């Protein structure tokens, strides 16, 4: 192909590329976001009271990843309690297909042992994990979760503002959705069951 021909075709390639991007944005906006920002989610390994916990080890299960902390006064206990009720609304066989990982965003105060006691108090299958500040920041960034210390005048010293959603990871390890804080347990049960029938 001559240089002159390439010059004439260059605008055509640009138009085709823009049309393709527009098509993706129109029919699959999430796909365009992943294309521009990289695929969200992904494997991670953090520390529990029983040792390392890797998301990869839970392939074959739906994993509900939640970023919170044990000193949380209201949002975390409400979210975990609602999820516990929702899981109990499933049949035992359905419930067995789910696991929940509670990722601490307060590594200064949350030890692996404290996290495990806290998580298991809501449901025996819940696992609490933590890591270094750098490890936690990386995992949160990859999942699109946000958190930040908020100084308060109380014995606790500080609170942590944080994303209050469960991130749903499918049996193949792909991030496929979110369950928002405040969703009633009965609706959570229905949404969990819907994931099983996809």
Give residue 38's pLDDT band: very low, low, confident or very high (50, 70, 90).
low
C-beta of residue 130 within 8 angstroms of C-beta of residue 136: yes
Residue 92 has pLDDT above 80, yes or no: yes
Count the domains in the chain.
2
CA 183 – CA 176 distance, rounded (Å)? 17
Q: 26-30, 54-58, 136-140 — which is least confidently predicted?
A: 26-30
Q: Of 87, 89, 99, whose CA–CA distance to 60 is shortest?
A: 99
Condensed to tens digits (0 to 9), the pLDDT of residues 127-158 reads 999 999 999 999 999 999 999 999 877 676 89
Tell whether 96 and 20 lie within a shared domain: no
Tell whether 50 and 31 lie within a shared domain: no
Domain hosting 103: range is: 45-196
Q: What is the pLDDT of residue 131?
A: 97
Tell whether 22 and 78 lie within a shared domain: no
Sign of the alpha-carbon torsion through 146, 125, 191, 33:
positive
Condensed to tens digits (0 to 9), the pLDDT of residues 65-77 reads 999 999 999 999 9
Tell whether 26 and 66 lie within a shared domain: no
Tell whether 75 and 154 lie within a shared domain: yes
Tell whether 107 and 29 lie within a shared domain: no
CATH code where residue 132 lies: 3.40.30.10
Tell whether 24 and 63 lie within a shared domain: no
Condensed to tens digits (0 to 9), the pLDDT of residues 163-175 reads 999 999 999 999 9
Residue 9 has pLDDT above 80, yes or no: no
Residue 34 has pLDDT above 50, yes or no: no
Q: What is the pTM of this model?
A: 0.79
Mean pLDDT of 39-62: 94
In degrees rounded to 5, what are phi and psi of residue 93?
-65, -40
Two structure tokens written together for 10? 């260059």
Percent with pLDDT over 90 in the chain:
75
Tell whether 144 and 64 lie within a shared domain: yes
Tell whether 104 and 189 lie within a shared domain: yes
Tell whether 143 and 64 lie within a shared domain: yes
Tell whether 57 and 99 lie within a shared domain: yes
Tell whether 77 and 160 lie within a shared domain: yes
């Amino acid at each position: 192909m001559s240089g002159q021909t390439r010059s004439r075709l260059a605008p055509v390639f640009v138009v085709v590329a823009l049309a393709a991007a527009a098509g993706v944005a129109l029919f699959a906006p999430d796909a365009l976001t992943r294309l521009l920002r990289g695929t969200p989610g992904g494997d991670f390994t953090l520390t529990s009271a029983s040792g390392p916990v890797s998301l990869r080890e839970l392939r074959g299960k739906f994993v509900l990843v939640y970023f919170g902390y044990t000193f949380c006064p209201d949002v975390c206990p409400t979210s975990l309690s609602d999820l516990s009720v929702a899981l109990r609304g499933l049949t035992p066989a359905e419930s067995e297909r789910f696991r929940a990982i509670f990722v601490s965003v307060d590594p200064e105060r949350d030890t692996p042992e404290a996290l495990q006691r806290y998580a298991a108090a809501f449901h025996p299958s819940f696992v609490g994990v933590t890591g270094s500040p750098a490890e936690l920041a990386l995992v949160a960034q990859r999942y699109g979760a946000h958190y930040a210390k908020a100084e308060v005048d109380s014995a606790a010293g500080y609170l942590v503002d944080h994303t209050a959603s469960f991130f749903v990871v499918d049996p193949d390890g792909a991030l496929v959705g979110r369950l928002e804080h405040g969703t009633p347990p009965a609706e959570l049960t229905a949404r969990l069951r819907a994931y099983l029938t996809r």
